[in-house]
Amino acid sequence: MMPASYERIHYGLRPAKNIERKMLCEVFRRLSAFARVETYRYIGFGSTYFSDFVLFHKALDIKNMISIEHDAQKTDRFKFNRPFGCIEIEFGESTQVLASLEWDLKTILWLDYDSKLDATVLADVAFFCANAVPGSFVAITVNAHPDSKEGVPPLELPRYRAQELEARVLKENVPADITGKELRGWGTAKACRRIINNKIEQTLNERNGGRQAAPAFLYQQLFNFHYADNAKMLTVGGLLIDEGLSDQLSHCGFHNLRFFRSDDKPYLIRVPNLTYKEIRHLAEQLPVNDPAELHAQAIPQKDLEAYREVYRYFPTFAEAEI
């Protein structure tokens, strides 16, 4: 049996993921226009590292936290690594656990999968959109690396990729204009975002159909991250509101965030390779609007631009005695 992903990858040390986690934290902080962020419930997949739980508890003071763990054979290890007593661990598949919870609280749900988009992921997304109260937030992360298989000739890859996508998410969920030729590079991530957003809109249309004169539920996408610590990954997400909360949405100032994305244009999280001395030198010059204002001998321009974009969220890893 292949080891679980948390046994193969140290989630806390992936730099692009680390940056993404801090960016999401900044988004969540702005939810105070709907309710004090510390009153939200956070649901995620903590794994043995609980990296997002640690950050969101310390930075946002969220105390109502639920970690969904499907590896029920190793309950003792998850319980041992739980960093705070306010984290409740629910063992089982996400679809089952989500259905067992009450949904009368504003909730931040991060469906942080390391697997590819499939019908189960879409079912979780649909469940959230059918049950969450206005002001709730959902983020979905999936592996968006193009499908490949040993023995499949290059000329056959487009057809293979199209077949694999349809098999995972079901053919009726794939827009007719998505072809296998588009599922290369970041094309798979773009297709996955469309499929996820279509499922959200479909579910909300069904939910609104039974509300008659009540304000309609709406979804506002807030980010569309592409990143790759190894495999190409997609994280897309946003806010569930009703028409009566439109003013609160404008007061959040999400559009002022550098990484705000409300459409299909992705924000690529780029991690420059810099020495500690170079980081300190650049930090003394930031913030600036124009990367040309940064002066650093011999550092490639692309790394200067990348660091200017993410310096507030940039991870600094150092060896320490524990």
How far apart are alpha carbons 82 and 72 in whole angstroms?
Answer: 15
Low-confidence ranges of the chain (pLDDT < 50): 2-3, 5-12
pLDDT score, position 65: 98
pLDDT score, position 123: 98
Q: Mind giving me the DSSP string for 26-48?
A: HHHHGGGGTS-GGGSEEEE--TT
Residue 119: what are its φ and ψ, rounded to 5°?
-65, -30
Cα torsion at 198, 200, 202, 205 (round to 10°)? -140
pLDDT score, position 291: 82
DSSP summary character for residue 34:
T
Helix (H) or strand (E) holding 111: strand 107-116
pLDDT score, position 12: 47
Q: Find out whether 22 and 271 touch, Cβ atoms under 8 Å.
A: no
Helix (H) or strand (E) holding 60: helix 51-60
Chain-centroid distance, C-alpha 235: 4
Strand spans (E) along 205-297: 217-227, 233-242, 267-268
Preceding amide of 300 cis, omega within 30: no
Locate the domains of the chain by residue range. 5-268, 276-313
Report the topology of domain 5-268: Rossmann fold (3.40.50)
pLDDT score, position 322: 62
- Return the percentage of the chain with pLDDT > 70, whole number: 94
